[in-house]
Structures are given as structure tokens and as C-alpha cells.
Amino acid sequence: MFAISHFLLDFIFPPRCVFCAASVEGNLLCKKCQAQFRLASVPVQKIAEYPNLDAVLVANASTPELRRVVHAFKYKMYTRAADLLAGLLIKTVRVQKLPTDTLVLAVPLHWTRRWWRGFNQSAELGRRVAQSQGWEFSEGNLYRARRTKSQARLRRAARLQNLVRAFGVRDPRWISGRTVLLVDDVATTGATLGECATVLKNAGARRVVGLALMRGGVRF
């Protein structure tokens, strides 16, 4: 049903580049605007407040152009942006020396939010990253135990409180002793990645590395 609705929308409203409004065929951006998406120099991050999160890989600096595409992907359900955005993440992980048995997980949505949106944007990205590297991807083992408020509207202290006991692991056997690459679309304070990392370490993960498209409004 979700795919059909997008087909009908594309038929009624022919796709146009979200930057310059040029006509496009099956893409979110025209070729000229796609050229703007090049990797910016963003070093590997270590967030002291979240010791269970061993590192955070950030694919690109936060630019108005990238924020616009991420917003369209996440909130306007422009799923055709997934390949473009996943490409940034894939370029980022290729230069990292992660084990061949790395397990890729996505920050989960509560089932009610996933039902409303129709997809989990982080899972769409994580699945593509895993396929590109030959790694295993698991959706559902890391789950959201309760519905939380949107992190985007909260201050840092409220973000931390909002995530207490928000995540769980269904089967620790798939996680024990492995390096986990945890994918999210945007990392702001790192609170969501940090809380997930704590749950994963408690389940036996050897190492947890976060991967995000960009940083949010708060600098690490």
C-alpha cells in the first residue's frame, strides 16, 4: 500500500528536485544538486558522557542542503532519498576497520510511530550499509520498549530522562561478543545512541560504534 501510494503521488505530482525544482526521474535530487553531497571532514567522535558508546562516525557536516533532504526523507516520507543518504554512510564506514562479522542495528521506532510513518528511516539506511559491506543486519532485536516524546523538541537533560528504560534487546545471543554498528539518521547530543549502547553492552556487545548522517544542533 505504501509503495502504491507513492506511485500515485508521483503520477499526479511528477517528482522534482527538492533544491531547484528541476524535473527528476525516480530521484530526490537532480544530478547537478547531487554533486553537492560530498563528504565533509568530520572526525570520529567519542562522547565522554556515554562511555558505553565506543565511537561515533558522522558522515557529513550539517549543511542546509543535507538537513533539507534528511527532513524530506524522515517527515515527508520521501523514501527515494534512502539510496542517496545511505551512500554517505557507506563511504564513511568503508574507511573504518570494522570486523567482518559486524552486526548492523538501527535505532528503533516505537511500533505506533513506525506504523504511522510506514517505515523506520534508520533501518532503511542501516540495511543498505550492511548489504554494501556484507555484514548482517537485524531489525527487531533492538526494540523500543515504550513510546517516548520526540527528542528534537527536548533540551539535553529532558532528552536523557526521556530515554530511561526506553530500549530493550530480545535475543542477546545475536549480540554477545560482537561489534555492533548502530545507525541513526541524526546525532545531536548522542543521548539516543548512548542509551542504546548501554542496553547493547548489557546484552554482551563487545563494542558499539554509532553511525549518523550528521550532527544536530548541539556540538559533541
CA atoms of 79 and 36, how far apart (whole Å):
19
Give me the chain's average pLDDT, please: 80
Contact 47, 194 (CB under 8 A): yes
Q: Which of 4-8, 185-189, 214-218 has the highest mean pLDDT?
A: 185-189
Report whether 52 contacts 201 (CB < 8 A).
yes
Any bridge partners for residue 105, and if so which?
Answer: 138, 182
How far is the C-alpha of 153 from the C-alpha of 91, rounded, in Å? 30
* Angle of helix 121-133 versus helix 82-94 axis, rounded to 10: 50
Please give the CATH number for the structural domain made up of 40-215: 3.40.50.2020
Q: How many residues does the chain have?
A: 220
In angstroms, the CA 140 to CA 138 distance is 6
Per-residue pLDDT reduced to its tens digit, 206-219: 999 999 998 775 44
Q: How far apart are CA 180 and CA 155, in angstroms?
A: 28
Residues of the chain with CATH 3.40.50.2020: 40-215
3-state secondary structure of 146: coil
Please choose, from the candidates 103, 83, 75, the residue with its C-alpha nearest in 3D space to the C-alpha of residue 27: 83
pLDDT at residue 218, as a whole number: 41
Task: Return the C-alpha cell found at 201.
Answer: 553492552
In this predicted structure, the answer to whether residue 141 has a pLDDT above a threshold of 60 is: yes
pLDDT tens, residue by residue, 84-93: 889 889 988 9
- Is the CB of residue 211 less than 8 Å from the CB of residue 64? no
Tell me, what DSSP letter sits at residue 150? -
CB distance 145 to 167 below 8 Å: yes
Chain centre distance of CA 184: 2
Could you give the C-alpha distances from 77 to 5, 9, 15, 106, 185, in angstroms and in order? 11, 12, 13, 18, 14
pTM of the model: 0.81
The per-residue pLDDT for range 92-131, each reduced to its tens digit, is 899 888 999 999 999 998 777 777 777 889 999 999 999 9
CA end-to-end distance (rounded Å), the chain: 40
Grid coordinates given for 140: 527487531
